[in-house]
Amino acid sequence: MWGGNGVPRVPLPYRGDGHRTPFPSVPISSRMWWPTLLALLVPMVAPLHPEQELDAHWDLWKRTHRKQYNGKEEAARRQIWERNLKYINTHNLEHALGVHSFELAMNHLGDMTSEEVVRTMTGLKLPHNRPHGNETLYVPDWTERTPAAVDWRRKGYVTPVKNQGQCGSCWAFSAVGALEGQLKRRTGNLLALSPQNLVDCVATNDGCGGGYMTNAFEYVRHNRGIDSEDAYPYIGQDQSCMYSPTGKAAKCRGYREIPVGNERALKRAVARIGPIAVGIDASLPSFQFYSRGVYYDQSCNGQNINHAVLAVGYGTQKGTKHWIIKNSWGEEWGNKGYVLLARNRDNACGIANLASFPRM
**345 domain residue, yes or no:** yes
- Do 258 and 209 have their domain in common? yes
pLDDT in tens, 184-197: 999 999 999 999 99
Short-list 272, 291, 305, 300, CA closest to 335:
291
pLDDT band at residue 231 under the 50/70/90 scheme? very high
SS3 107: coil
pLDDT in tens, 232-281: 999 999 999 999 999 999 999 999 999 999 999 999 999 999 999 999 99
**293 domain residue, yes or no:** yes
Q: Which residues pair with 324 in a beta bridge?
A: 313, 340
**49 domain residue, yes or no:** no
Structural domain count, the chain = 3
- Do 254 and 204 have their domain in common? yes
User: Helix, strand, coil proportions of the chain in percent (round to 5)?
Assistant: 35, 20, 45
- Do 79 and 161 have their domain in common? no
Q: What is the pLDDT of residue 22?
A: 46
- Do 352 and 233 have their domain in common? yes
**333 domain residue, yes or no:** yes
Residue 320, Cβ density class (10 Å: 0-12 exposed, 13-18 middle, ≥19 buried)? middle
Residues, the chain, total?
360
Q: Are 202 and 189 contacting, i.e. CB atoms less than 8 angstroms apart?
A: no
Residues with catalytic function? 170, 307, 327
**53 domain residue, yes or no:** no
Short-list 239, 245, 233, 198, CA closest to 219:
198
- Do 221 and 274 have their domain in common? yes
pLDDT in tens, 139-183: 999 998 999 999 999 999 999 999 999 999 999 999 999 999 999
Residue 304 pLDDT > 60: yes
Mode of pairing for the β-strands spanning 338-342 and 290-295: parallel
Give the separation between CA 136 and CA 82, rounded to whole angstroms. 47
Contacts (Cβ under 8 Å, ≥6 apart) of 83: none
**25 domain residue, yes or no:** yes
- Do 255 and 354 have their domain in common? yes
Q: What is the CATH number of the domain that holds 203?
A: 3.90.70.10
Q: What is the arithmetic mean of pLDDT over 109-126? A: 97
- Do 166 and 217 have their domain in common? yes
Percent of the chain's residues with pLDDT above 70: 85
pLDDT band at residue 27 under the 50/70/90 scheme? very low
Q: Label residue 253 left, alpha or beta by phi (over 0 means left) and psi (-120 to 50 means alpha).
A: alpha
- Do 31 and 64 have their domain in common? no
**78 domain residue, yes or no:** yes
- Do 91 and 198 have their domain in common? no
- Do 96 and 27 have their domain in common? no
Domain end marker among 109, 128, 150: 109
**55 domain residue, yes or no:** no
- Do 238 and 313 have their domain in common? yes
Give the separation between CA 302 and CA 300, rounded to whole angstroms. 7
- Do 148 and 210 have their domain in common? yes
Short-list 244, 234, 186, CA closest to 207:
234
- Domain membership of residue 28 as a residue range: 4-44
